Structure 1
Amino acid sequence: MDDTHTSTDRTGLTRRTYLRALVAGGVLTGSGALTASAAEDAAIEQIGAGSIAHVKPEAAGAPPRTVYATDDLDAPYPSNDWWTTLLWRPLSENLWVHPLAARVTETGLALSYPDEWQVRDAPFTSGPRTDDFAEMGPSDERPIDADLTLSHPGVSDGTAARVADYGDWSVTYRRADGAAGIDVTLTQGSPFVYCETANGGVEVGLDGDASVWHERDHVLGVTVDGHHYGLFAPPGGSWDVGDDGTVASDLGGEGYASVALLPEASPKVLNEFRRRAYAFVTDTTVTWEYDADRSVVVTEYDFEVDAKHGDAEETLTALYPHQSRWVREDLTDWSYVSPRGEMSVRAGSGFTTEHPFRGLLPFLPDVADVPNLAAHVDAVESEETLIRDWQGEGTYWTGKNYERLLQLAPIAEQVGDAAAAETFRDAMRDELETWFSAGSDGTVDETDLFWYDDVWGTLNGTPMGFGADADLNDHHFHYGYWVKAAAELARVDPEWAAEGQYGGVVNHLVRDYANPDRNDDRYPFFRNFSPYAGHSWASGSGELPAGCNQESSSEAINAYAALLLWAEATGDEELRDAAVYLYTHEIHAALEYWFDVADENIPDDWGYDYAAIVWGSGYKYATWFNQDAESVHAINYLPVGGHSLYLGWNREAAAANWRELVENDGGDGEFDLGWYTDVLWEFRALSDPDEALSWYENDYTGGDFAESRAHTAHWLYTLDTAGTPDATVSANTPLYAVFNDGQRRTYVAYNFGDDSEAVTFSDGAELDVGPNSIATTTRPVESNPTLSGAFPTVDAEAGGGNGESDDDENGRGQRGGRGD
């Protein structure tokens, strides 16, 4: 079997090879795509007024120089997804496909269906707390417990698996040994595994207590350790059931077969799966639309299928809760369990979801009388060093400095201190420009720069930390702060942000972690965001048994909020729409899986109602750096700003999360760690502004790193005055928010444009927003419409703002209707 993709289409090439050919030929050029240039061959590439290096600094880390892909694939390679361990090693780590789990082993592809929760001590951290980790699957450091092992008899044990093709949530790998070989396609959410072979058939090892309950020519129904599977050879083929626990088929010489996880063992279900078993998924594509008039994100998930037999054009796919809650189409009666909760099955060639988008603000408005606010601004302005060093000077900690200053600049403007605002922006500008210059006279600097790795197609900083360079971890966490700082500069200095000045380098950061352009030949599509999972992964390689993970959902949301602010500041509507899509999905996933606001997805017997880290295999109530409850909760609140209001969309859920924090931190409400006190009380203000403000007025001592007293005071007094976020009201502009104190609503919108903008809210309120400015208006609460989904019903009589809501509804949305 040669090293080319065995499936055929109208081009004879893989989708990405085809697209690259078009780009190279000048047929396709996306608005953000830059083809390779002669400048890339030099040590330093000039980009506007800035530059990046093409030489790895000596102190920098880098991902492996060997990438396990076939020869017809090249950089940029994806990372940070459920399957990207396949690129990092000759055989894979555990692959949490959902509902299936898989692993490429020495002998073949091991498949299993983890369907029982295990609760135990958290892996990968030390500490006294027990029962911190809930997962479906094996114990910490061993492979999945296989039900089946799928292999090609002509491929030697240990033959490397190489990625041959991939879609937005699917992957095909190849194991080839001379003329014999097998291509296997795995698709997230799919119960099917597809294989195509050369010079031979397939063998399926039954690895547990197995029974065959259906055997008819080319279709086999088997149960292994209580899990049910269908094995589908081509019509005309057959299965040979051996006494050694192995079944085999020569596939009738056709060279293809599929295996499916079945929701139950019955001939009727087996036949329904057989009808779709030969519609091989060859590509998966997500597209999105931001409907501003309705303030929703419409997302389409499409499957490209190749009918190996018959004319079936539909497949079966299992939807995650964040999809089934907002899906347009009907669903079947079948479902699977998974580490994300129940996955309901859809039959078709795709499906569409509509998620509410409730806006964000670059900063909160000036609606409250905040005592001594000008003095708090002056206190920071007088600091000798505004770019502070706490735990290191890498891209993450430098970004945290930016967050503090970009919050302070607009507050300084609100108190009439233009000089302080410019001081804060000057500090950010100087630091950004230092990093945005890779060297001079052809000599690359050793530190404080960005360099392009053409082996993988990624932009790394030096220094970084947290494995961000060697493992490609956390790029969205780091770079989100940088892009957000650039957006604040662009708000007042659009020339600085122009492509010919420093905006060009900012756009390289954007393209590295959140590139919406599949045709870009320098950066992959959506590096961090996993379109089917609905959220990002922080782990670049997924090189741990529990799979990929993400600790700080809030920093991921911050990264996409930064993207939206940058797009608005630079007038890039295409990027704006992608940012709205990313921001909205990341929020809904955070509410579903980290906060479980509908109380449906995290296991009841775990002992926690919230997860600090979501893993491919489950949930963890601990951070990577400690198991203190203050850190465990704050890591999914920070940084707090105008993008964080989703944390208060369901006040009762926010109050319940606060109670869990306090209970697990000793029960006295005194936070002794000292790292996140401001952040914790800013979160509390989203459910009980009175209590949060009382803490500030009686017990405030000093700001956290990346926080300031000015910002904390401004946040707490604003929410105490305006009320908590009201998600039942939307607007026809991306930068907006609505607050509700039970008696009145406060409507806020920001306009980055050069002309005034008329904003209309869904309850009839209107607001005229001047050029590059923020505006507010208020009016009495006349009605409180209910919004389906992971939001509460706003009840004016219950207070709606100050104090905790009496509404204890989970706010479950309407899942897609059940079909036959």
Structure 2
Amino acid sequence: MKDDSHTPIDGPSTNVRRRTWLKGLLAGGTLAAAGSFGASAADADLEQVGAGSIARVKPEEAGAPPRKVYAVDELSSPYPSNDWWTTLLWRPLSENLWVHPLAARVTESGLAITYPDEWQIGDAPFTWGERTDDFAAMAASPEASTGPIAADLTVSHPEVDGDVPAKVADYGDWSVTYRRTDGEASLDATLAQGSPFVYFEANGGGIDVAFDGDVSVWHERDHVLGVTVAGHHYGLFAPPGATWDGVGGDAVSSRLDGEGYVSVAVLPEAGESVLNAYRRRAYAFVADTTVTWEYDAERSAVVTDYEFELEAKHGRADETLTALYPHQARRTTDELRDWSYVSPRGEMPVYAGSTFTTELPYRGILPFLPDATDVPDLGEHVDAVESAETLIRDWQGDGTYWNGKNFERLLQLAPLAEQVDDEAAAERFREAMREELETWFSAGSDGEVDGTDLFWYDDVWGTLNGTPMGFGADADLNDHHFHYGYWVKAAAELARADPEWAREDAYGGIVDHLVRDYANPDRDDPRYPLFRNFSPYAGHSWASGSGELPAGCNQESSSEAVNAYAALVLWGELTGDEELRDAGIYLYTHEVHAALEYWFDVADETLPDAWPYDYAGMVWGRGYKYATWFNQDPESIHAINYLPIGGHSLYLGWNRDAASANWAELLENDGGDGTFDLGWYSDFLWEFRALSDPDEARSWYETDYVAGDFGESRAHTAHWIYTLDAVGVPDATVSADTPLYSVFRDGSTRTYVAYNAGDEPTEVSFSDGTELTVDAGETGTTTRSFESLPPMDGAFPRVDGSDDDDGGARGKSGARGKSGARGNGND
């Protein structure tokens, strides 16, 4: 689907950055204030979008992020949120910036920098009890109590007063530049995730560097210093011809020989050879960072390029140094150096260059599991829901999140009703979703905005908020992917049955706004930022909109993030938008691998040794938490990273050994007997168990079934467990050349499943030579028995066709270079 309202227009000239250029178009009237819609639409309180509408004013009941944004005048909406640096937009200085491997903080004294080689990780419970929208209560949490980072050194401009705000001057896909201006004096600082360098450009003066505590200077040669502070090693690189004053004291300064630039780098070790290697890259300043991606259907892989735009301050600018996260290092064939850094995400080896590439395997999703076995009483369970007086329920609250949970239950039930030939039930489930969606998709009538149950566009930030939302989703821009993913997935189910409803001139246009708000793949879109929730370098999403806690951004439910991006895949495939589908596959694939790496640690190599668990319920910029936002019960802590369970969840069983180990940890921490006292999540917990031991899950269902979360149903739980009991567990060693597929293994028999969203029959080819013809709009299945199959437990294939033995992760030593060996690090 394409929306002419955001069709790309001619881009900027090469000497004007895109965001500055876009601001000029807005000021000159080429674009309306909030996008490329006409002025009449921009001025109206209601904006018609196909058959629906969104509000262009904030409803009285709605929350909104701050009206003041700390950015230079050349920047304009849409502003990013939900990233490691976006606290800079929310306050005049900043909270802690967990850059990895560095940590930093903008203070009155300057930019405080440290290298936290002993990452703070905690398992103390939160103190405020029930989940709340009172985010002021977070001040009492262990995350907030840690306070500002302990700086090794602080970099400042001698002529810039401490109360001058830091304003975002530019940003890339994983980098940011802020500026502090005081009269004729100014200081720009650029930080990039993964980079050991911080780059400074000073106007109207030089630079001061203050050390916190004893400093040892082990290299001094005119413009380059090598220092050690608190056991951490740094290089200070002024322009050639400059000198450093005050060496030997607790602070140094330089006039920078009138050149106005300097870089500071944390070094992996002290020594002349390392310092010289970093010096050779110290003057290639990072000016921009850009990620591009490709879905390779034939190999069922996602190829991602990470590119640095470099500006030579002195000498050449052909490469920089950057530290790769484990999910990158394990999936690149680019040569890595021997140097590495510690981080809360594990060891980060160093790469030298201006671009590197990763390849992550994609193993498909399904809109629903196939009709593969007789499920006892499935028709009766479907009827039980159909007969309910009300299908959209508010048992746990109203708003965009709880409505989304309603949608999840119903969109799962509709295809099950079809499988038992109950078309009336399937239509009732879809009609309930359709009515609720259309209610919210109309923001008013006769030019008047309704008070509630609507979406409104905030042109200050460039975001689409609902009213009501909850959990700080409007005022803090938290959780948009968690909320809207359910809505887009519901829309995809309607598109499957009723393509006319999903047309751009019907209700598809509103769905497109939801998609663009949380997962916009177009960085030149004048209304929404690129990938609001997803952090391209980190490889996963952040739920926190502002990052306004000392521990940085956080994400609790990795599985709801995965669900949100699976929704994009389904919506794109079912509406024929391949560009959006491929972006969804890119996002889904990275979120899945990050979840397995950083939440579940399936390789048992990523979580810090000091962490007392084998799993993390929450991932923070600072570290990890074995808790949820609403309680500290192990049932919730584990279930929050399982739910919702569906055809997108099969990655949780790719490594059967790891899934079994996670289940065992849950039982051990919960008392050990498998009796779940809360009962909230019993469906999800046993559906997860079915991914590693379907027989045990079926035994529970037949003897001890207890209904759980209202976003689930007995019909779906039964269908999930009995289907996996029949076809076996997910087999990720086999791929296919279509986006909607999965493979299962039971002993020496494989079951192959694919869904065809097209209008013509299609032939699906699997990597083990199996072929499957699938009719239009249908699910196809076939089975194949083998005399023997290689062991699957613990195995997950790399994209080059070889097998790892750690469930998708490579060893701590990092990825191999193209020659098969690591770089020598001596440069």
Q: Which amino acid aligns with 1:108?
A: G
1:354-410 CA-partner distances (Å, limit 9, x unpaired) = 000000000000001101000000000000110011221110000000000000000
How far did residue 782 of structure 1 move? Answer: 4.9
How far did residue 141 of structure 1 move? Answer: 3.4
Q: Which residue of 1 aligns with 2:20?
A: 17
TM-score, structure 1 normalization: 0.93
Cα distance between partner residues in 2 of 1:324 and 1:603: 17
Three-state SS of the structure 1 residue aligned to 2:579 is: helix
Q: Which amino acid aligns with 1:750?
A: Y
- Provide closer, same or farther for how the CA distance between residues 649 and 503 of structure 1 changes in structure 2, counting only shifts above 3 A: same
1:547 aligns to 2:552 (yes or no): yes
1:819 aligns to 2:823 (yes or no): yes
Q: Which residue of 2 aligns with 1:267?
A: 272
Q: Which residue of 1 aligns with 2:103?
A: 101
- Provide closer, same or farther for how the CA distance between residues 809 and 76 of structure 1 changes in structure 2, counting only shifts above 3 A: closer
Q: Which residue of 2 aligns with 1:575?
A: 580
Three-state SS of the structure 2 residue aligned to 1:501 is: helix
1:614-654 CA-partner distances (Å, limit 9, x unpaired) = 00010100000000000000000000000000000000000
Cα distance between partner residues in 2 of 1:331 and 1:338: 17
How far did residue 328 of structure 1 move? Answer: 2.0
Residue number among 80, 83, 86 corresponding to 1:81 in the alignment: 83
Three-state SS of the structure 1 residue aligned to 2:796 is: coil
Q: Which residue of 2 aligns with 1:64?
A: 66
Written as runs of structure 1 = structure 2, the 5 A alignment for 1:261-410 is 261-410=266-415
Cα distance between partner residues in 2 of 1:208 and 1:746: 64
Q: Is the 8 A contact 1:742 1:781 kept in 2?
A: no
Q: Which amino acid aligns with 2:810?
A: G
Three-state SS of the structure 2 residue aligned to 1:680 is: helix
Three-state SS of the structure 1 residue aligned to 2:431 is: helix
- Provide closer, same or farther for how the CA distance between residues 788 and 299 of structure 1 changes in structure 2, counting only shifts above 3 A: farther
Residue number among 39, 43, 57 corresponding to 2:45 in the alignment: 43
Q: Is the 8 A contact 1:651 1:792 kept in 2?
A: no
How far did residue 240 of structure 1 move? Answer: 1.0
Written as runs of structure 1 = structure 2, the 5 A alignment for 1:506-655 is 506-655=511-660
- Provide closer, same or farther for how the CA distance between residues 614 and 790 of structure 1 changes in structure 2, counting only shifts above 3 A: farther
Q: Is the 8 A contact 1:652 1:808 kept in 2?
A: no
1:526-578 CA-partner distances (Å, limit 9, x unpaired) = 00000000000000000000000000000000000000000011100111110
Q: Which residue of 1 aligns with 2:4?
A: none
- Provide closer, same or farther for how the CA distance between residues 103 and 323 of structure 1 changes in structure 2, counting only shifts above 3 A: same
Cα distance between partner residues in 1 of 2:805 and 2:190: 44
Q: Is the 8 A contact 2:119 2:343 kept in 1?
A: no
How far did residue 142 of structure 1 move? Answer: 1.0
Three-state SS of the structure 2 residue aligned to 1:276 is: coil
Q: Which amino acid aligns with 1:102?
A: A
Cα distance between partner residues in 2 of 1:552 and 1:455: 28
Q: Is the 8 A contact 1:205 1:247 kept in 2?
A: yes
1:461 aligns to 2:466 (yes or no): yes
Cα distance between partner residues in 1 of 2:731 and 2:645: 17
Cα distance between partner residues in 1 of 2:453 and 2:143: 42
Residue number among 750, 759, 763 corresponding to 1:745 in the alignment: 750
- Provide closer, same or farther for how the CA distance between residues 788 and 716 of structure 1 changes in structure 2, counting only shifts above 3 A: closer
Cα distance between partner residues in 2 of 1:595 and 1:11: 43
Q: Is the 8 A contact 1:138 1:144 kept in 2?
A: no
Unaligned runs of 5+ in 2: 1-11, 131-141, 799-803
Q: Is the 8 A contact 1:339 1:617 kept in 2?
A: yes
Q: Which one is further off, 38-47 or 649-658?
A: 38-47
Three-state SS of the structure 2 residue aligned to 1:730 is: coil
Q: Which residue of 2 aligns with 1:720?
A: 725
Q: Is the 8 A contact 2:267 2:274 kept in 1?
A: yes
Q: Is the 8 A contact 1:528 1:538 kept in 2?
A: yes
Q: Which amino acid aligns with 1:769?
A: V
How far did residue 603 of structure 1 move? Answer: 1.9
Residue number among 169, 177, 195 corresponding to 1:172 in the alignment: 177
Cα distance between partner residues in 2 of 1:21 and 1:730: 47
1:800-819 CA-partner distances (Å, limit 9, x unpaired) = xxxxxxx9855543723211
Three-state SS of the structure 2 residue aligned to 1:280 is: strand
Q: Is the 8 A contact 1:316 1:346 kept in 2?
A: yes
Q: Which residue of 2 aligns with 1:796?
A: none
Q: Is the 8 A contact 1:154 1:177 kept in 2?
A: yes
Q: Is the 8 A contact 1:789 1:812 kept in 2?
A: no
How far did residue 781 of structure 1 move? Answer: 3.1
Written as runs of structure 1 = structure 2, the 5 A alignment for 1:149-298 is 149-242=154-247, 244-298=249-303
Cα distance between partner residues in 1 of 2:29 and 2:107: 41
Q: Is the 8 A contact 1:125 1:624 kept in 2?
A: no
Three-state SS of the structure 1 residue aligned to 2:394 is: coil
How far did residue 120 of structure 1 move? Answer: 4.0
Q: Is the 8 A contact 1:325 1:789 kept in 2?
A: no
Residue number among 51, 54, 59 corresponding to 1:52 in the alignment: 54
- Provide closer, same or farther for how the CA distance between residues 787 and 744 of structure 1 changes in structure 2, counting only shifts above 3 A: closer
Q: Which amino acid aligns with 1:78?
A: P
1:730-757 CA-partner distances (Å, limit 9, x unpaired) = 0000000000011200000001110111
How far did residue 127 of structure 1 move? Answer: 7.2
How far did residue 70 of structure 1 move? Answer: 0.1
Q: Is the 8 A contact 2:288 2:308 kept in 1?
A: yes
Aligned residues: 789
1:428 aligns to 2:433 (yes or no): yes
Q: Is the 8 A contact 1:786 1:792 kept in 2?
A: no
1:480-504 CA-partner distances (Å, limit 9, x unpaired) = 0000000000001000000000000
Cα distance between partner residues in 2 of 1:333 and 1:504: 50
Cα distance between partner residues in 1 of 2:87 and 2:423: 50
Three-state SS of the structure 1 residue aligned to 2:598 is: helix
Three-state SS of the structure 1 residue aligned to 2:610 is: helix
Q: Which amino acid aligns with 2:492?
A: A
Cα distance between partner residues in 2 of 1:440 and 1:782: 66
- Provide closer, same or farther for how the CA distance between residues 283 and 783 of structure 1 changes in structure 2, counting only shifts above 3 A: farther
1:764-790 CA-partner distances (Å, limit 9, x unpaired) = 011111111111000013564689997
Q: Which residue of 2 aligns with 1:804?
A: none
Q: Percent identity?
A: 75
Three-state SS of the structure 2 residue aligned to 1:82 is: coil
1:330-366 CA-partner distances (Å, limit 9, x unpaired) = 1000000001000000000010000000000000000
Unaligned runs of 5+ in 1: 1-8, 129-136, 794-806
CA RMSD across the alignment: 2.2
Q: Which amino acid aligns with 1:104?
A: V
Q: Which residue of 2 aligns with 1:6?
A: none
- Provide closer, same or farther for how the CA distance between residues 785 and 250 of structure 1 changes in structure 2, counting only shifts above 3 A: farther
TM-score, structure 2 normalization: 0.93
Q: Which residue of 1 aligns with 2:135?
A: none
Q: Which residue of 1 aligns with 2:8?
A: none
- Provide closer, same or farther for how the CA distance between residues 777 and 340 of structure 1 changes in structure 2, counting only shifts above 3 A: same
1:640-692 CA-partner distances (Å, limit 9, x unpaired) = 00000000000000000000000100111100101100000000000000100
How far did residue 117 of structure 1 move? Answer: 3.8
Q: Is the 8 A contact 1:123 1:140 kept in 2?
A: no
Q: Is the 8 A contact 1:591 1:790 kept in 2?
A: no
Q: Which residue of 2 aligns with 1:134?
A: none
